[in-house]
Amino acid sequence: MVKLQALFTGRANGSTSPVCQRRAPGYNERMENELPKRITIDQLAGMMANGFAEMRDQFAALENHLGDVDQHVGNLDARVVGVEKGLKGLSYKVDQLDQKLDQHHQKTKDEHAALTGVVGGMSHTFADHEERLRALEGE
């Protein structure tokens, strides 16, 4: 119970001093009443000149960086053009192979048809020959 009372009252072990003390009241008043520093026009002009010089340096660095990026993009463009030329060459070769494949396919079909005709003709001849043999044997 004593611990709860100390928690709510802010006092521990029955002491009369608070656990958390506020800062000195004069601190905030001193900050509010302090006079701002005065800056001369020459000092302000110097600060502006330094700021502009710093910005100019940053823009120069940015321009150099953009130049590097532009150079890298140019190199990538050259590589892409090279790859496209290579792909066109491969496409041409594939087209040639496709034409040769079509020629061989047609030739194979023609040869198969001729072979089928020869074999088919032989089978008819063989069947006729067997019939003639049977007819001769039966006589």
Is residue 35 situated within a structural domain? no
d(CA 101, CA 108): 10
Mean pLDDT of 71-98: 94
Is residue 100 situated within a structural domain? no
Range of the domain at 124: 113-139
d(CA 105, CA 99): 10
Residue 13 DSSP label: T
Is residue 102 situated within a structural domain? no
Q: What is the pLDDT of residues 10-60, one digit of tens each?
A: 545 555 555 555 555 566 666 666 777 788 999 999 999 999 999 999 999
Task: Please answer whether residues 21 and 28 qualify as being in contact, where contact means their C-beta atoms are separated by less than 8 angstroms.
Answer: no
Q: What is the pLDDT of residues 61-81, one digit of tens each?
A: 999 999 999 999 999 999 999
- Domain count of the fold of the chain: 1
d(CA 139, CA 137): 5
d(CA 128, CA 119): 14
